[in-house]
Each structure stands twice: as C-alpha cells, then as structure tokens.
C-alpha cells in the first residue's frame, strides 16, 4: 500500500513539474487536472517568481538565469524520481543540484529547467551525518549527505575526537559541491584535495539510477563524479575518511619581500611531510590590502602596510602546525628550529595559538565581520589557475608585476603549491601534467557593477599570456563555453569524460550551467 501511494504521489508531482517546464519552454496549454495534486508533494514544488528569482543568481552575481521551477526534496528517492521522469519524458528538461549557490559563473543554474534545492534534504533530519568505522578499527569515516555543510561535518566528527583530513578555506559550502570540483586548501599538499579522501559515494545519475560507487564498485562512476563538475550524477552521500582531531593550532604569518625566497620556502615546507607545517598557503599583499584582523593587531598591520608601501607589494606565507596541548612545549621548540631555516623578513614573523575549530572556521568568522559593511550588490568575478612550478616566476613577472600591477579592487590574491602525487590521476579534476609540484593562483576580488568587466578583461589577458608563453595551465572552477576549450582543459581525460557522459547522462540533463554539453550525446 505504501509503495502504491508513493508511486501515485510521485507521478502527480512529476506531472506538475512537467507542466511548469512545458509552459515556460514551449508554451503548452494548461491541461493538468489540478484536483489530483497531493498537498504534501505540491509543497515541494515552487513555481512562484520570488523563489525562482532567488535561485537564478549565485554568489558571483555576474549573471542571471531563472529556472522554471525549484524542487525541495525530502529524500534522495525524490531526486531520483525527478531525474527519471526528465530522462523518459518526450520533452526532457535540465536539472541542476544547488547547495549554497557559492558558484560565481552560473555553474549551478538550470535556465528554464529545475533547480534542486539540496539543502531541503537535511532539514529536520539528524540521520544525514553519521560517524562510524569499518571492521578494522583504524578506518574511521563519516557518511555525510551531499547537502551537508563542511562546518557541520567538522562539528559532528569533532564530537568523536575525529576530523576529515582535507578542507577548503571556507567551510560553509556543501559536501557535494566541493567534491564535484576538487576541494583545495592549505592541507592539500599533505593529504591531497578533498576528492582524494573519499571512500564511497551514493550518486543519482542522469538516468535517475541510484548507484553506490567506490574504488572497488562502479569505479568508473566514482572516479568520474569526484571532480566531474556535476556532469555524471548528483552526490547524495559521501563516505569521507577521518583521522584523530588535534586540539590546538599554532598559526603563523611570515612576511617576504622577495618572491623567489617566498616560493622556495613554500616548496621546502610542502616537501617536509614529517615534523613540518600541516597547512601552507601564501598570498600577495599591497598596502591597501593590509588591515587588522582577529590575527593581526592594528600595530602589526601598520608595520606590514609600511613594508608593503615601501616595496610596492609583499608576500605573506600563512602556515599552521597542529598539536595536542600536552605536546605544546615540544611543538614550539621544533617550530622555532624550522623557522630558522626560512628566509622571511627578520622581525616579520607573527604567531597565534588558536583552537582547531577556530582555525578551520577563521575565514567565515572574518567574512561575518566584513559582511556587515559590504553592500549586497558586491560582485565576485573570481578566477583560479593551476600552474607548473617551473613557470611561476614567469607568471609573477608578467602578471603580478605587469597585468595586475595597478589593480584597485580589494580582494585576496592567493599563491601556494601542491604535490601532484597527492592527487589521484584516475579522477577527472584537471591539473598540469608536466611536473611534480604545481601552484594554485586565486584571484578573489570584490567588485562593483562598474569595474567587474575590467577585471574580467584582465583575466582574459592572463589567459592570453599563458597561451602565448606555452604554459601548461589549468583553470580551477573552469569557465569555458566552447567544446574546443573544454577538450583542451581536460586534455588526455576528455575521451573518458565523454564516454562517462554518454553512459550516465546521455541526454545532458545534469548541471547545464557548466555549459560543457548543450545537446544529447
């Protein structure tokens, strides 16, 4: 009886969705007998302008594309039913799973289709985050719903004295969202990106099939979905590896005026996988970018600002060492010894002792303080690249000291290295092939309606420079619109990418906002 009722409700719900898509896309007449609608299902479908407008913009605020409907599922079964209906319908429609809408170029849009509000899966449910272990006690993991925020994953696992190994700098993003890209941060050099730390996934494919996959089972889907930009399935659960959580973090800012010394020290630090830093990032700073924060006092920020003004720009190496309170004295001694091997400006080493959770959630804390003074119409034309180690000096000369020399918009400019051997080559995330160490460059400005196009023009100048100089770069969170560019981006992995699309989403229903496949295969 319960199964028959589910089938009836699902059918009525899907007819409602189909009617909405049809009216928006082809102007079909209103023929659905509304008296058949089940109130419980109707409540999950949102066709009103306020809701569809809300889901037509993202964090970047650079573009807008309205869906025909927004669907708020209460279970993965609801999502699978939607996708199956879209796949089997004579006039199929596109579907985009959306977490917190933190994309910046419309990657989670579904123009004229259906946006699935993934946050609905976790509302009022405590069973979407579960910490457990295999028969082998050493392998602990958390089963996290694709809609779960990483900050909630952190708090839940920390209750058990455990933590995921790899993070993003901003934790108020969804598990499914970051795993569809890669998930990078200052821990990546040691543990690889977040996608390298997953044991298992539950995925809904573009045919509506619900498939559990891992390195051993349905491995092609597993490797494809992790870093696959949402093209082969919607992640509804991820089994993420855990390790014992540290109690404290020794957090460091080290200031450099010489780029070669800055990068040399970063590369040395990521090579020390024992008794070294647990977190390594870096950034370029100009005087206008320096301000006091929860880490830097007003006195120290003024000191750094004067140095930046003197040299035009400086480089900040941000590091961290994790430890247990009982080991504090020994950790401090080892850290002092390590600092003697580095070439930062004397007198410009700043340290602070913080909790582990406080360190990991630091970006959100600072963002919360700044958001009170930031206007709602601030745009975020972000741009991210991966570059081989051997070309980072060329990039610094031509871009940091050339194209970006007179930049005015405020924002972060990140520069830090990864170890290639910590990335699983079977996964589809695109990284430079040439060398064992490569850098990420993150240009993360806040812009206005008046200057964002100027910044975009600079980004195109940077890409042109890389092309002209033959630099083997890859965009992270790529922003291409032609098949030729996508083929070049994925390189030797493109054929596998197309094969997986043909196998798991042949009608190109999923993640249309990525603009990789615009017609069925």
- Residue 144 in tokens: 């996290």
Out of 78, 281, 361, 396, pick the active-site residue: 281
- Residue 97 in tokens: 């799973």
What is the C-alpha to C-alpha distance for residues 94 and 113, in angstroms, rounded to an integer? Answer: 5
- Which 3 state secondary structure label does DSSP give 68? coil
- Residue 485 designated active-site: no
The answer to whether 84 and 17 are in contact (CB under 8 A) is no
The answer to whether 399 and 465 are in contact (CB under 8 A) is yes
**Number of residues written out for the chain:** 521
Out of 46, 58, 78, 102, pick the active-site residue: 102
Provide the 8-state DSSP code for 174. B
CA angle 507, 509, 512 (to 5 degrees): 125
The answer to whether 413 and 283 are in contact (CB under 8 A) is yes
- Residue 169 designated active-site: yes
Number of Cα atoms under 13 Å in the Cβ half of residue 260: 1
Out of 152, 156, 169, 267, pick the active-site residue: 169
The answer to whether 53 and 66 are in contact (CB under 8 A) is yes
What is the C-alpha to C-alpha distance for residues 399 and 402, in angstroms, rounded to an integer? Answer: 5
The CB density around residue 293, as the number of other CB atoms within 10 Å, is: 16
- Residue 281 designated active-site: yes
What is 89-140 written as a DSSP string? Answer: SSS---EEEESS---SSSTT--TTSEEEEGGGGGTT-STTEEEEE-SSTT-E
- The position carrying tokens 């009722």 is 5
Phi/psi at 461 (5° precision): -65, -40
End-to-end CA distance of the chain: 39
Q: Which residues are catalytic?
A: 102, 169, 281
């Amino acid at each position: 009886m319960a199964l028959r009722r589910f089938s009836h409700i699902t059918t009525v719900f899907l007819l409602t969705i189909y009617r909405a898509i049809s009216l928006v896309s082809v102007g079909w007449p209103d023929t659905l007998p509304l008296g058949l609608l089940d109130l419980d299902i109707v409540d999950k479908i949102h066709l009103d302008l306020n809701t569809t407008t809300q889901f037509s913009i993202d964090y970047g605020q650079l573009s807008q594309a309205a869906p025909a409907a927004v669907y708020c599922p209460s279970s993965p079964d609801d999502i699978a039913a939607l996708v199956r209906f879209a796949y089997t319908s004579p006039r199929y429609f596109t579907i985009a799973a959306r977490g917190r809408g933190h994309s910046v170029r419309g990657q989670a849009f579904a123009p004229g289709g259906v946006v699935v509000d993934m946050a609905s899966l976790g509302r009022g449910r405590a069973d979407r985050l579960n910490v457990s272990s295999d028969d082998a006690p050493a392998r602990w993991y958390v089963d996290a719903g694709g809609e779960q925020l990483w900050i909630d994953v952190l708090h839940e696992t920390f209750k058990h004295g455990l933590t995921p190994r790899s993070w993003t700098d901003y934790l108020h993003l969804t598990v499914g969202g970051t795993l569809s890209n890669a998930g990078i941060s200052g821990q990546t050099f040691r543990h690889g990106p977040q996608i390298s730390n997953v044991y298992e996934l539950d995925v809904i494919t573009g045919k509506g099939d619900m498939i559990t996959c891992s390195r051993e089972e349905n491995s092609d889907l597993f490797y494809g979905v992790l870093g696959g930009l949402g093209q082969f399935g919607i992640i509804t659960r991820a089994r993420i590896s855990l390790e014992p959580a540290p109690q404290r973090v020794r957090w460091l800012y080290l200031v450099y005026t010489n780029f070669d010394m800055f990068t040399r020290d970063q590369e040395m630090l990521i090579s020390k996988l024992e008794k070294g830093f647990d977190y390594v990032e870096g950034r370029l700073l100009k005087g206008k970018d320096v301000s006091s924060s929860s880490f830097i006092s007003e006195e120290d920020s003024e000191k750094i600002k004067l140095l930046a003004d003197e040299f035009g720009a400086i480089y900040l190496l941000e590091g961290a060492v994790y430890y247990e309170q009982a080991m504090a004295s020994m950790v401090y001694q080892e850290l002092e010894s390590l600092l003697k091997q580095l070439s930062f400006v004397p007198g410009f080493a700043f340290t602070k002792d913080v909790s582990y959770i406080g360190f990991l959630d630091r970006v959100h804390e600072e963002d919360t303080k700044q958001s009170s003074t930031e206007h709602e119409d601030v745009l975020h034309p972000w741009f991210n690249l991966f570059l081989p180690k051997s070309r980072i000096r060329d990039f610094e000369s031509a871009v940091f000291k050339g194209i970006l020399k007179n930049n005015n918009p405020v924002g972060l400019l990140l520069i830090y290295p990864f170890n290639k051997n910590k990335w699983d080559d079977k996964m589809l995330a695109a990284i430079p092939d040439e060398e064992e160490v490569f850098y990420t460059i993150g240009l993360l400005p806040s812009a206005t309606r008046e200057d964002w196009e100027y910044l975009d023009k600079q980004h195109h100048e940077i890409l042109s420079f890389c092309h002209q100089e033959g630099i083997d770069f890859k965009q992270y969170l790529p922003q291409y619109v032609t098949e030729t560019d996508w083929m070049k981006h994925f390189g030797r992995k493109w054929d596998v990418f197309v094969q997986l699309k043909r196998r798991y989403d042949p009608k190109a229903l999923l993640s249309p906002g990525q603009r990789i496949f615009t017609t069925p295969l």
